[in-house]
Structure 1
Amino acid sequence: MSENSLPTPVLTKKGQETRKKILDAAEHVFGELGYYDASIVLITQHAQVSQGTFYNYFESKKAIYDELIRQLSRELRSAIKVAIMGATTQEENLRLGFLAFFRWIKHHRNMYSIIQQAALVDQELYRWYYAKLAAGYVRSLKNAMNEGAFREMDHETLAYCLMSIGQFIGMRWVYWENEDVPEAVLETAMSMIMKGIAAKP
């Protein structure tokens, strides 16, 4: 995880668009071919830019892979944060978070394969991705427990349990079938979760 994209303190609007186009192309190429079969040539061909243009923004294939995962992580966490702003209960907070994840991943289905590749390409980056996501869950769970909405349990353990539920439900319907998660499926998951963690009245 040591390689980074080249410093770009100020980018013109066109520069921002070009950088995004290259990252979008990398998302497609890494997702479809895998890290080891992907190449800068294929990424630039898909982005319809020259290799020279690529190197204006990224030092190497590993550098753009790292930045792609960081960027997708930021976008996903931002989408969830925005979605849960209107929640009035902790249960609604969880439900809206899951729905936001399912909506976002439907537009970034290659994220599943890209992240799993990181387990072989860069374990530190792989752990970073899940740790950042877990941190948001931990904050929400602490708030819920402080309010008395959820019973006291280990925050990190619960965070990874909740992430696993979202991960595999999304994989089953969104990634494998390219479908929306059925409402009954989400409600089944929510019922199981709430019966396990909700504070007793």
Structure 2
Amino acid sequence: MRRGEAREKIISAAERLFANKWYSTVSVADICRSAGVSNGIAYHYYRNKDELLADIMERTIEVVGGGPSLEGAGPDGMLRNYVADLLGITVERKHLIRSFRQGQYRMLGYERKLHEVYTKHLEAVLKRKVCEPEYEFIMSGLRFVNIRHAFDGSPADIGTLYEVLTRGAFPGISMRPLGEFLPNRVLPPAVDIIQDTRSKLLKSGKELIGESDFASVGIADVTGKAGISVGSFYSHFESKERFLAEMIRQISKELRRFIRINMPKCETRLEEELAGLYLFCLYLTFDPVCYAVVRQGEYVVPDVARGYYDGFVDGYLKRMDWLPEGWDRGTVANFCIGIAHYLGMELTFSGAKKDIRQCIAELAGYYGRGIGRTEV
């Protein structure tokens, strides 16, 4: 085997495994077995699995940093090319990109580095400085659409993405000042005063897995916290994976209920969108572990996690009469969900204290008018 060839095999195997399995369930031995090399060779290059993931994170930044075209027929063509190239990279290197998602909140420093790369790209394409809210609007939507397209087959129409970026996801729709429609008081998520066995297990499991990790939490840990026998667990759930799946379904149900009962009276669809985004972020303050549970589910029970996101898409598709003719509805829906997704990740994992209302205020204008046309 040529010098360096073994290392590339190890990285390639790790990419595939990290893309399809939850990080903590993958061992160095699994990676070596998939790569066809001995464990000793892996430890020659990496001291541990975290070091291997860090290498993959660095490679992702290199690929994304050097891959997209920053050229085109004027700023308009440059932006279109950039959007198309980002999608192409995500599809072509989907295992690498999805492996990066494993480390997004484990190793936040790499997400910050990628943020810097994307910011430099956007400033080169747009020929001007890009502020943080503008960055969040552009990259949160694009990244989520691309990931969903690469792994779930969701639509990613380049023309629609360009229009959303330059005109907004709700073009021409008016809104009142946020203070006139965002709620000042909400009903908190429902709490069951008397819980049955199933509810006790789900509550304990969500707290343990959300605060720790799916692989490290055993069924005995869950039943011990719930004060229930291990045998009772299997009367309700056939496996820990099905247990996690039910948790995600419950989170989806509770989140939707919270938004529904607290949705204020809005005059336009744009006001509803911003109120919904505000309530989504607010829900995370009541139930901060739910986000970590869903993210783990993307790798442990991917079909269920896909259904979680598809449920939100379906909600958009039922009420999209505001879209201009020719725009792809699924693309717009996933773009909007992506903004909530990445804002939620920032609020949950960064440790930074953010004013949610201020975040919404800074993003609001981009929903209605986008970043503006790029022609000069």
Is the shorter-chain TM-score for this pair beyond 0.5, marking a shared fold?
A: yes
After superposition, what is the alpha-carbon deviation per residue over 1:66-105, rounded to whole angstroms, capped at 9, x for unaligned? 1111111111122223333622211210111011101212
1:30-56 CA distances to partner (integer Å, 9 max, x unpaired)?
Answer: 112222222110111121222123233
Q: Residue 196 of structure 2: SS of its match in structure 1?
A: helix
Over aligned residue pairs, what C-alpha RMSD do you find? 2.3
Residue in 2 that maps onto 1:189 = 363
| Number of residues of Structure 1 aligned to a counterpart in Structure 2 | 178
Determine if the alignment matches structure 1 residue 151 to structure 2 residue 324. Answer: yes
Question: Contact conserved, 1:21 with 1:47, CA < 8 A, in 2?
Answer: yes
Provide the TM-score with structure 1 as the length reference.
Answer: 0.78
Higher relative contact order (CA 8 A, sep 6+): 2
* Structure ranking higher in helix proportion: 1
- 1:137 to 1:177, Cα distance in 2 relative to 1, 3 A: farther
The alpha carbon displacement at 1:22 in A equals: 1.0
Q: 2:287 aligns with which of 108, 115, 118?
A: 108
Unaligned segments of structure 2, at least 5 residues: 1-192, 372-376
Tell me which of 25, 40, 47 is aligned to 2:204: 25
- Report the TM-score, using the length of structure 2 for normalisation: 0.44
- Pick one of 174, 177, 183 that aligns with 2:351: 177
| Matches of 1:103 and 1:62, distance apart in 2 | 28
8 Å contact from structure 2 (residues 241, 301) kept in 1: no
Partner of 1:69: 248
CA distance in 1, matches of 2:209, 2:354: 24
Whole-Å separation in 2 of the counterparts to 1:163 and 1:174:
16
Contact 1:91 1:194 in 2 (8 A): yes
2:213 matches 1:34: yes
Tell me which amino acid in the other structure corresponds to 1:138. Answer: L
Asked whether 1:134 is paired with 2:313, we answer yes
Counterpart pick for 2:260 among 50, 65, 81: 81
Please list every run of 5 or more consecutive structure 1 residues that lacks an aligned counterpart in the other structure.
1-12
Q: Which residue of 1 aligns with 2:170?
A: none
Q: Is the 8 A contact 1:118 1:125 kept in 2?
A: yes
Partner letter of residue 84 of structure 1? Answer: M
Alpha carbons of 1:110 and 1:96: their partners in 2 closer, same or farther (altered >3 Å)? Answer: same
CA distance in 1, matches of 2:244, 2:308: 13
